[in-house]
């Protein structure tokens, strides 16, 4: 007998399971608190890459809450892989695969700052890193080299990060408030470096990839209606768009792929000065 899982109450149907029979639900579904707040941003991000999904191996760095990968499978991806790298008490630690009504998602638990990505050379068609780079303790040099290694010639990279020049940050500074996050029990969950668009473009140049698109995302991860409405208005206004809460780039791996190892980070994002008194 085929078991049919109950639909998520929001009608979207997003729900992940520990087993292929879809009988043992994970904590990840359409009713989740984070999904409820982040879905507009995730849906907008997915629309940026949706046309590349059919037949693709899609890898999402950071992955949780795995919503993008489920949407990738629904849109025809042949393989979905998630890399989770935080050191918190993740509910899927120990799992190497989870399931939805659209297929299975392979899980990998590794630290992108200390370990190589768990993929073969030229294995990935589309690689996403959404709201990830701001959590890196150091300049993501290893990650940069690994992206170049695993992404196929002609493959697509999608990066989204918080915009340090957002209206909210500017307003906080004008009010004398701190734009930096509080210290946290889990340091990987804290933002270490937020980006400007110029810096994000510099990172793509450093990767040696071709810019395929760049822009803003007008969505904040918040239950409050006022910030959501305010940022949509900002994103719809010329000039003010640059002060939206999130920024993104799409980059294309050249068909003639550069396989040299990157060693020196770009000056726009890295300073080699050490904290040693002369």
Residue 220: what pLDDT?
A: 67
End-to-end alpha carbon distance in the chain: 74
- Predicted TM-score (pTM) of the model is 0.90
Average pLDDT for the chain: 89
Q: Is the pLDDT of residue 247 over 90?
A: yes
Which is higher by pLDDT, 93 or 14? Answer: 14
| pLDDT above 60 for 34 | yes
Please list, in sequence order, all residues whose beta carbon lies within 8 angstroms of the beta carbon of residue 124, skipping any fewer than 6 positions away: 57, 58, 59, 81, 150, 151, 152, 155
Residues written for the chain: 278
What pLDDT is stored for residue 6 in this prediction? 40
> Over 80: is that where the pLDDT of 9 sits?
no
Q: Could you read off the pLDDT of 193-230 as tens digits, one per residue?
A: 999 999 999 999 999 999 999 999 887 666 666 767 77
pLDDT band at 41 (very low <50, low <70, confident <90, very high): confident
Condensed to tens digits (0 to 9), the pLDDT of residues 135-176 reads 999 999 999 999 999 999 999 999 999 999 998 899 899 999
| Adjacent-strand bridge partners of 160 | 130, 248
Where does the pLDDT of residue 22 fall: very low under 50, low under 70, confident under 90, or very high at 90 and above?
very high
Q: Is the pLDDT of residue 5 over 60?
A: no
Burial class (CB within 10 angstroms; exposed 0-12, middle 13-18, buried 19+) of 125: buried
**What is residue 176's predicted lDDT score, i.e. its pLDDT?**
96
| Residues 144, 156: Cα–Cα separation, whole Å | 14
Domains of the chain: 30-252 (3.40.50.150)
CA-based radius of gyration for the chain: 19
Reply yes or no on whether the pLDDT at 104 is more than 90.
yes
């Amino acid at each position: 007998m085929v078991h049919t899982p109950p639909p998520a109450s929001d009608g979207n149907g997003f729900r992940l399971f520990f087993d292929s029979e879809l009988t043992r639900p994970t904590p990840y579904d359409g009713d989740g608190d984070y999904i409820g707040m982040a879905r507009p941003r995730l849906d907008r991000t997915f629309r940026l890459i949706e046309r590349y999904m059919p037949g693709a191996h899609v890898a999402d760095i950071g992955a949780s809450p795995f919503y993008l990968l489920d949407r990738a499978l629904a849109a025809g991806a042949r393989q979905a892989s998630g890399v989770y790298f935080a050191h918190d008490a993740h509910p899927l630690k120990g799992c190497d695969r989870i399931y939805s009504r659209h297929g299975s998602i392979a899980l990998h638990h590794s630290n992108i700052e200390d370990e190589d990505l768990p993929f073969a050379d030229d294995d990935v068609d589309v690689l996403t890193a959404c709201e990830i780079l701001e959590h890196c303790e150091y300049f993501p040099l290893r990650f940069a080299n690994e992206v170049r290694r695993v992404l196929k010639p002609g493959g697509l990279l999608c990066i989204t990060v918080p915009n340090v020049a957002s209206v909210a940050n500017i307003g906080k500074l004008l009010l004398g408030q701190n734009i930096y996050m509080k210290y946290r029990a889990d340091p990987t969950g804290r933002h270490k470096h937020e980006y400007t668009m110029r810096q994000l473009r510099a990172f793509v140049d450093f990767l040696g990839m071709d810019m395929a698109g760049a822009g803003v995302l007008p969505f904040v991860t918040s239950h409050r209606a006022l910030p959501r409405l305010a940022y949509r208005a900002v994103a719809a206004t010329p000039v003010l768009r640059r002060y939206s809460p999130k920024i993104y780039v799409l980059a294309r791996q050249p068909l003639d792929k550069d396989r040299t190892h990157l060693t020196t980070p770009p000056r726009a994002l890295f300073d080699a000065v050490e904290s040693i008194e002369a």
